């Protein structure tokens, strides 16, 4: 028998194949099983047009047979088989895909998509085998053939005996090396797990004889090992099933099986899209936050399947960062895969899918917020911060999409409120959406700056997280209402009269305030009369973009740029202390300096800012006591 050489550049290609196309050896099994499944699909398609051929699903299967004694692994299928020519053409020529040709000739039916397309998958067998033997009998032929090759040096073909139509591929596994233990591909548990991982949703049963321990017939304690044929794969993926046939429990079970989390999903989303790009997806919004969620270690992504075969464990491009908490998978027949099927060729379809998915998640969250507030707040507790980051990041590119998903505590009942609800409640004369920042609700409630706003009957949003104010600054306005900090220098009240009053008063005390500003030097930008204080003597207000809360956040960051807010010290003219200030100004400049510094430091304390010199501060306190 003469040995035939692989055609054309096949030798070099084969070498490339074995050494570099795939990053992961175990996928050889995925490739061979996919080919077997394609071969059965082809019979199915033949039967559609051939009245003599009846396709009885139960007759078709794939079987995996490990043989430790011979060190071989055999993959058997009852598919269409290959003629001598086909063995020659399809296996003798690398990068020739009989399946692609078939696909181009046949009109494929939904859900029966042929997997093969590149004509290289078969050769991945050489990553684990020294010798590959293919015995095949084609549908409608009487003769069977054996194709055999030990890699780059060519292959042989000869007639052989085989009763039934189909193909048997036997791999003689390589000797173990230090890095790779090829024998593991003979272990039942390992084979099972590879099949489960990549080929769980192959339409036909993948069978294997699995060892079971059974009690011996005549004894209670003695066990014997018996081989029992099992079907390893689940076959019908849940996402191909009809939504109406599935219950919440089905989705929850799948969530647990897939190890998406230890919790129960808060919401399951099942999508089947038959548009410009066809795909099915099962998405979950988890209830509990993964322990590493807000760390660098956390990796977002969805599982990606192509026609039921796993391509990628975590495809990050399918999820935007602000929805990185979503778990689940996408299966599409329309993906352009690259040759190793480990990566995607080009991402037009993927981008489309990602866009659709993002929209879907947003709408589901909106519905949840509307219909099940309690559940939504639970979700928000875990992942609200991520949504706020989403508003802030990418220069606000997603802010419109996300703004209606935000919740903030507010002075109204101290409950979480949406921006829409806030605006709904605004009295007619209120022009701005007011907010106050602080460590906690308790602390914010005690801020002197909130007094006047609350007194006007306006509601205040309470920002307790670092990100809040940054996100709001990015949002700028909601429903054409601008956001305004209760600490901003101008609260924007509509009060022409009192304004005039203040102006008159301000002029009167200008000399005093100028003197105080001199004492404080560049610690503050200005000292002035307060329009917002009622019972407190002083507070700090800010001018410009940086608020005091932002200053705190920024200065806590590594390599902070020492960004400071422009602070304004506001004095309450109705407070008794004001009288003392005036007196000191007229009679005792040292006293004025003492009072001014004390008041300034008090204002810092109220804001939760550190006072620059605590020792001096306490000494000053004592001075006035004595």
What does 119 interact with, of ligand ADP, Mg ion, none (CB < 5 to 8 A by kind)?
ligand ADP
What does 90 interact with, of Mg ion, ligand ADP, none (CB < 5 to 8 A by kind)?
ligand ADP
Residue 321: what are its φ and ψ, rounded to 5°? Answer: -55, -35
Q: How far is the CB of 341 from Mg ion (least distance, A)?
A: 9
Which positions from 134 through 173 interact with ligand ADP, judged by CB under 6 A?
167
Which positions from 353 to 392 touch ligand ADP by CB under 6 A, shown as an x/- string? ----------------------------------------
Residue 205: what are its φ and ψ, rounded to 5°? Answer: -65, 135
Q: How far is the CB of 98 from ligand ADP (least distance, A)?
A: 2
Of 28-36, 242-250, 294-302, 320-328: span binding ligand ADP (CB under 6 A): 28-36
Which positions from 60 through 89 interact with ligand ADP, judged by CB under 6 A?
77, 79-82
Rule CB under 5 A: is residue 121 a binding residue for Mg ion? yes
In this structure, is the dihedral angle defined by the CA atoms of residues 435, 436, 441 and 444, taken in order, positive or negative? negative
* Pairing of the two strands 526-529 and 408-410: unpaired
Crossing angle of helices 348-371/373-392, nearest 10°?
140
Closest CA to 116 of 339, 348, 343: 339
Residues in the chain, how many? 626
Rule CB under 6 A: is residue 39 a binding residue for ligand ADP? yes
Written as one string, the DSSP assignment of 101-153 is: HHHHHS-PPTT------SS-GGGGGGGTEEEEEEEEE-TT-S-EEEEEE-STT
Which is nearer to ligand ADP, 90 or 358 (by Cβ)? 90
Q: Are 10 and 94 in contact (CB under 8 A)?
A: yes
CA distances from 404 to 356, 371, 420, 460 (A): 19, 14, 7, 18
Which positions from 158 through 197 interact with Mg ion, judged by CB under 5 A?
none
Q: How far is the CB of 77 from ligand ADP (least distance, A)?
A: 5
Number of residues binding to ligand ADP, judged by CB under 6 A = 23
Q: Hey, how many other C-beta atoms are within 10 angstroms of the C-beta on 482?
A: 12
Helix (H) or strand (E) holding 215: strand 206-215
Of 120-128, 192-200, 484-492, 597-605: span binding ligand ADP (CB under 6 A): 120-128
Rule CB under 6 A: is residue 97 a binding residue for ligand ADP? yes
- Select the residue interacting with ligand ADP from 117, 230, 502, 555 (CB under 6 A): 117
Which is nearer to Mg ion, 35 or 418 (by Cβ)? 35
Q: Where are the extended beta strands (E) located within 455-604?
A: 460-463, 477-478, 481-485, 526-529, 538-543, 566-571
C-alpha 268/C-alpha 328 separation (Å) is 9
C-alpha 401/C-alpha 362 separation (Å) is 8
Which positions from 480 through 499 interact with Mg ion, judged by CB under 5 A?
none
Rule CB under 6 A: is residue 122 a binding residue for ligand ADP? yes
Quote the DSSP letter at residue 20.
I
Of 33-41, 144-152, 196-204, 578-586: span binding Mg ion (CB under 5 A): 33-41
Which is nearer to Mg ion, 95 or 131 (by Cβ)? 95
- Select the residue interacting with ligand ADP from 26, 33, 35, 174 (CB under 6 A): 35
Compute, in degrees rounded to 10, the torsion defined by CA atoms 480, 483, 489, 493: 50
Rule CB under 5 A: is residue 35 a binding residue for Mg ion? yes
Q: How far is the CB of 352 from Mg ion (least distance, A)?
A: 26
Which is nearer to ligand ADP, 85 or 495 (by Cβ)? 85
Of 112-120, 430-438, 465-473, 576-584: span binding Mg ion (CB under 5 A): 112-120
Number of residues binding to Mg ion, judged by CB under 5 A = 3
Written as six digits, the tokens of 259 are: 């190890």
Q: How far is the CB of 31 from ligand ADP (least distance, A)?
A: 6
- Select the residue interacting with ligand ADP from 10, 78, 83, 90 (CB under 6 A): 90
- Select the residue interacting with ligand ADP from 36, 144, 206, 436 (CB under 6 A): 36
Helix (H) or strand (E) holding 155: strand 155-160
- Select the residue interacting with ligand ADP from 116, 286, 320, 537 (CB under 6 A): 116
Burial, 511: exposed, middle or buried (Cβ in 10 Å; 0-12, 13-18, 19+)? Answer: exposed
Which positions lie near Mg ion, rule CB under 5 A? 35, 116, 121
| Contacts to ligand ADP by CB under 6 A | 31, 35-36, 39, 77, 79-82, 90-91, 97-100, 116-122, 167
């Amino acid at each position: 028998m003469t040995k035939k050489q692989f055609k054309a550049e096949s030798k070099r290609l084969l070498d490339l194949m074995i050494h570099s196309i795939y990053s992961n050896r175990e996928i050889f099994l995925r490739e061979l099983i996919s080919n077997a499944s394609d071969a059965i699909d082809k019979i199915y398609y033949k039967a559609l047009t051939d009245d003599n051929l009846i396709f009885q699903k139960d007759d078709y299967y794939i079987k995996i047979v490990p043989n430790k004694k011979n060190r071989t692994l055999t993959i058997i299928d009852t598919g269409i088989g290959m003629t001598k020519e086909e063995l020659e053409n399809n296996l003798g020529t690398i990068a020739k895909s009989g399946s692609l040709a078939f696909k181009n000739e046949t009109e494929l039916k939904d859900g029966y998509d042929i997997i093969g397309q590149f004509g290289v998958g078969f050769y991945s067998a050489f990553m684990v085998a020294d010798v590959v033997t293919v015995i095949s009998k084609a549908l409608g032929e009487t003769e069977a053939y054996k194709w055999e090759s030990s890699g780059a040096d060519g292959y042989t073909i000869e007639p052989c005996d085989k009763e039934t139509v189909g193909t048997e591929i036997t791999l003689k596994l390589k000797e173990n090396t230090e890095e790779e233990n090829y024998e593991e591909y003979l272990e039942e548990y390992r084979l099972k797990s590879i099949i489960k991982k990549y080929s769980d949703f192959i339409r036909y049963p993948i069978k294997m004889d699995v060892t079971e321990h059974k009690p011996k017939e005549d004894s209670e304690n003695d066990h014997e090992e018996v081989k029992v044929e099992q079907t390893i794969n689940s076959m019908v993926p849940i996402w191909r099933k009809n939504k109406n046939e599935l219950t919440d429990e089905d989705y929850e079970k799948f969530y647990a099986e897939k190890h998406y989390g230890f919790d129960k999903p808060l919401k399951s989303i099942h999508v089947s899209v038959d548009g410009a790009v066809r795909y099915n997806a099962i998405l979950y919004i988890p209830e509990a936050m993964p322990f590493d969620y807000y760390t660098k270690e956390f990796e977002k992504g969805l599982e990606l399947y192509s026609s039921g075969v796993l391509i990628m464990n975590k495809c990050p491009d399918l999820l935007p960062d602000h929805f990185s908490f979503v778990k689940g998978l996408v299966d599409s027949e329309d993906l352009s895969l690259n040759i190793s099927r480990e990566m995607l060729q080009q991402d037009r379809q993927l981008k489309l899918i990602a866009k659709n998915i993002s929209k879907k998640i947003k709408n589901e969250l909106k519905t949840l917020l509307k219909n099940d507030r309690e559940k939504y707040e639970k979700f928000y507790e875990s992942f609200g911060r991520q949504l706020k980051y989403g508003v802030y990041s990418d220069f606000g590119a997603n802010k419109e999409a996300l703004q209606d998903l935000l919740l903030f505590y507010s002075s109204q009942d101290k409950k979480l409120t949406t921006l829409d609800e806030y605006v709904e409640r605004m009295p007619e004369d209120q022009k701005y959406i007011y907010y106050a920042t602080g460590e906690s609700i308790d602390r914010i409630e005690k801020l002197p700056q909130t007094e006047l706003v609350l007194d006007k009957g306006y509601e205040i949003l309470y920002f307790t997280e670092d990100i809040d104010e940054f996100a709001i600054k990015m949002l700028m306005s909601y429903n054409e209402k601008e956001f305004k900090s209760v600490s901003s220098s101008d609260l924007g009240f509509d009060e022409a009269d009192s304004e005039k009053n203040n102006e008159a008063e301000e002029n009167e005390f200008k000399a005093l305030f100028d003197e105080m500003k001199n004492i404080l030097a560049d610690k503050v930008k200005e000292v002035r009369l307060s329009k917002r204080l009622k019972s407190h003597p002083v507070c700090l207000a800010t001018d410009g973009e940086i608020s005091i809360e932002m200053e705190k956040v920024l200065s806590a960051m590594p390599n902070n740029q020492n960004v400071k807010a422009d602070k304004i010290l506001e004095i309450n003219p109705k407070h008794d202390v004001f009288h003392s200030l005036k007196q000191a100004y007229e009679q005792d400049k040292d006293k004025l300096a003492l009072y001014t510094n004390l008041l300034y430091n008090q204002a810092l304390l109220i804001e939760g800012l550190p006072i620059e010199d605590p020792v001096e501060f306490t000494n000053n306190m004592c001075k006035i006591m004595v």
